[in-house]
Amino acid sequence: MIGLGVAVAERVPEGTPVLFQGAFSETIKKAAKIGFDALEIHVQNPELVDAKEWKRLCREYNIQAVSLATGSAYLMEGISLSSPEPEKRRRAVERMMGHIRLAKELGAIVTIGVLKGLASECAGREEFEKNYRESLEKCITYAEEKGVTLAMECVNRKESDTFHTITECAEFARSFRSEAFRIYIDTYHMDLEETDIPGAIRGAADMITYAQVSDRNRKAPDGKHCEIRQMTDTLKEIGYQGFLSLECLPDPTAEEAAAKGLAFMRNLMRE
């Protein structure tokens, strides 16, 4: 059975597709009230999190923390796993290890989106991949020790200058030969990059560990603009048993977008 989640955070930069912001005790309450099964939590600094309290709140509201997003560290501090500056790479790896420790406590995966950095920030694609791979190897080794899964996002070319499609991300992830490194997919990015969404998902069935949903404009999905059903039908076909999380803008309000998005996702799961 595919569980349904929603993105939350204490704070994120304006324009980030996260519905509920604020103290975890408040965002989890809002998500549970609307009816979500799970949370995707955007965490800038995991060392500041009270893991025991978060676990208590998850039990209280019967909701699971399934994913820790790492992008705020890049967006708000400028550190990345591929940075040409060794100190920034070191800090990004240390931050990832903190996320891994927190994920271990919560039973979540750790996602890597914009924290991978940009090739344009390096001398070129070769330097980018060298730096990124070296950082990932350290993170994957630590994740293996902790029994945590890392997942790399397939990001569209408007927001990233590397690794856009499901196929290329899956091939890159497979090159590490680790059960602890997988990929995750997002309807927003797929809509811009994939010419055959079902085919791409089938080809990466062994590597997909998480999925996100929003409409083409990053608002709550309604099925009128983005071919979301192609993704969900194919995920069912390949036997996907993970989570599907709503990662969209709080428009017109967070509560309205969350309720609309959850109703749409539930209908897809029933079909």
Long-range CB pairs of 7-10, under 8 A, 24+ apart, other chains included: 7/39, 7/40, 7/41, 7/42, 7/69, 7/212, 7/245, 7/246, 7/247, 7/248, 8/39, 8/40, 8/41, 8/42, 9/41, 9/42, 9/43, 9/69, 9/72, 10/42, 10/43, 10/44
CA–CA gap between residue 139 and residue 128 (Å, rounded): 16
Q: Six-digit token pair at 122?
A: 């390096």
153, 168, 227, 237: the catalytic one is 153
CA distances from 86 to 14, 93, 250 (A): 28, 11, 37
40 given a catalytic annotation: no
Give the up-direction half-sphere exposure of residue 209: CA atoms within 13 A in the CB hemisphere: 22
Residue 124 CB coordination number (10 Å): 9
C-beta separation of 80 from 139 below 8 A: no
148 strand-pairing partners: none
CA–CA gap between residue 197 and residue 67 (Å, rounded): 23
87 given a catalytic annotation: no
40, 193, 194, 247: the catalytic one is 247
Q: Six-digit token pair at 13?
A: 């930069």
Q: What backbone phi and psi angles, to 5 degrees, belong to 255?
A: -65, -45
Give the up-direction half-sphere exposure of residue 195: CA atoms within 13 A in the CB hemisphere: 0
Q: What backbone phi and psi angles, to 5 degrees, belong to 153?
A: -90, 145
Q: Six-digit token pair at 177?
A: 């030969």
Active site residue ranges: 153, 247
